Copies of this chain bind each other. A is one copy, B any other.
């Protein structure tokens, strides 16, 4: 379980959103699982686009990183650190070849979003998450809370401390 947890951790850290998440029943049951009241943030699927990414390896997904208005405004203004209330969402879908697209190309080169995998959120709250750079982090699987950040994951974010611990850059 430890190796699995570490693998997932490393994956998620490098994911663009830079979310650090521990995957254990204990964490999911902690009081932090009440982030967003244990529900998906309202309207997140309508948020504006920050960027897109692809992870190979075990994750093998395509992803979109969206931001609420506070996060988007901070990105566009180059404002760091992100202000309280900023939320960054990382949506991911299985990475699947598109047969109908490839037929037109005459070769396998087109990959599209398949079934969704999970959604992760980073919410900036300097007071409540002071020990993790001011970021509370949560993952939802099938719309249900799956895990939340624990402080021992946070070291993976230090390399991008100068960007307020956020990996994803805004795509113009």
Contact = CB atoms under 8 A, between A and B. Distances in A.
Interface of A: 10-11, 13-16, 45-46, 48-49, 51-57, 59, 62-64, 66, 91, 93, 95, 98, 100-113, 116, 156, 159-160, 167-169, 171-172
A106 B55 contact: no
A156 B100 CA distance: 11
Contact of A57 (B10, B57, B107, B171): B107
Chain A contact residues, majority secondary structure: mixed
B110 A53 contact: yes
A55 to B, nearest CB: 6
Contact of A101 (B52, B105, B167): B167
A113 B53 contact: yes
Given A48-B46, A53-B112, A156 B15 contact: no
A166 B42 CA distance: 29
A64 to B, nearest CB: 5
A110 B64 contact: no
A60 B159 CA distance: 28
Given A100-B159, A105-B10, A172-B116, A93 B52 contact: yes
Given A64-B64, A105-B10, A112 B49 contact: no
14 contacts: A14-B103, A14-B104, A16-B101, A16-B110, A45-B48, A49-B66, A49-B91, A51-B93, A52-B63, A53-B62, A55-B110, A57-B105, A98-B167, A112-B169
